[in-house]
Amino acid sequence: MKHKALRFGVFLTLGLLISHTGAVPIQEGRDALQPRDNTTTVGISQSLLDNFQLFANFTAASYCPGNENSTSDSLITCTDNACPLVAADNVTSLVEFGGSNDTTTADIKGFVALDPTRSLIVVAFAGSGNTIRNWLADFAFIQVPYTLTGCTACLIHAGFSSGWAERRSAVLSAVMSALETHPNYTLIVTGHSIGAGIATLAGAELRSLNYTADIYTFGSPRVGNTAFATFVTSQAPQLGQNYRMTHENDPVPQLPPTWVDYEHTSPEYWLTGGTDTTDAYAASGIVVCEGIGNEECNAGTGLVPIDGTAHNHYLGLISACQGPVAF
């Protein structure tokens, strides 16, 4: 109990610091001006759950040290049985980034890979190698302009912006080259935790370049303001679908808070009805929350008490190769 109180105290202190610095203006009365859409349904198709399982495997593989700095065409592999579906498909790497020898500021880790069995090009981003708390605190929830064509008045988290900027060239180059060679392959962008935030930015930009990309994220923090969340949501279905998964009372999707003008994309797919360590869920029980600013599903569980264990479990221990993501 002492450790949980300490973790909550860190978030509370950070929130108070932000409110006094004035770094991000709070929109007074925004709830009254923008009524919440709390539409929920229960149950998804088994095929969609199977897709979530597959891309959770790809995301788990992005954490594994064996997938750092290896040569092009090398197999994507995992320890601790973290990605059996990926291993079975003989997935090969196109480009890898991040890890022990990385010199970038954000050190966003991941890869672009080919899955010849399923005709997929997959961009996968791991979560932060440091603690979630420190990564978010380093940028104090400050927002910076997001300048993609069509995204009017969009603002995004400064840390996610810089993290994507450091990987943008390598990812776009690998994806464009792969699509030239394999024009009939489906493009998927996926990530967990901080990597889910980067995946959202990567997918949105690829779509803006007229590539169709499905975005699968697991335990994503909020990435930008209402205008940004609306923009990414509105890219579907013409330019790809948005599949944002949360788990029980995972605290990370509740950060940065809405009162500093951060919102999530829609829809949300909430794993619930188990515990923070449950990895097996039935498709019939997954709750779908639709609408920008929906306060049901994960957002309705609250941050108190903080329980970070749920953040590590997304249809398996998604950070198994690294170990539990710390708070």
Q: In the structure, what pLDDT confidence band is assigned to residue 308 with cuts at 50, 70 and 90? A: confident
CATH code matching the domain that covers 47-312, chosen among 3.30.230.70, 3.40.50.720, 1.20.1260.10, 3.40.50.1820: 3.40.50.1820
How many other C-beta atoms are found inside a 10 Å radius of the C-beta of residue 84?
A: 12
Global pTM value: 0.87
Q: Which residue among 93, 128, 161, 193 is the active-site one?
A: 193
- Mean pLDDT, range 87-101, rounded to an integer: 87
Q: Which residue among 89, 115, 214, 250 is the active-site one?
A: 250
Greater model confidence, 277 or 141: 277
Q: In the structure, what pLDDT confidence band is assigned to residue 3 with cuts at 50, 70 and 90? A: very low
- Mean pLDDT, range 70-82, rounded to an integer: 84
Pairing of strands 287-290, 143-145: unpaired
Residue type, 87: A
* 79 neighbors 321 (Cβ within 8 angstroms): yes
Give me the pLDDT at residue 129, please.
Answer: 63
Q: pLDDT tens digit string along 116-144?
A: 999 999 999 998 765 566 566 566 789 99
Q: In the structure, what pLDDT confidence band is assigned to residue 98 with cuts at 50, 70 and 90? A: confident
Position 175 pLDDT exceeds 60: yes
The question of whether 169 is a catalytic residue gets the answer no
Position 73 pLDDT exceeds 70: yes
Q: pLDDT tens digit string along 186-205?
A: 999 999 999 999 999 999 99
Distance CA 15, CA 8 (A): 11
Residues 6+ apart with CB under 8 A from 298: 246, 247, 248, 249, 250, 253, 254, 268, 270
Q: In the structure, what pLDDT confidence band is assigned to residue 100 with cuts at 50, 70 and 90? A: low
Q: In the structure, what pLDDT confidence band is assigned to residue 238 with cuts at 50, 70 and 90? A: very high
Distance CA 59, CA 190 (A): 6
Backbone phi, psi, residue 69, to 5°: 60, 25
Q: Domain limits of the chain?
A: 47-312
Q: 3-state DSSP call for residue 264?
A: coil
Q: At what angle do helices 194-208 and 158-181 cross, to 10 degrees?
A: 50
SS3 per residue for 41-54: EECCCHHHHHHHHH
Give me the pLDDT at residue 130, please.
Answer: 55
The question of whether 250 is a catalytic residue gets the answer yes
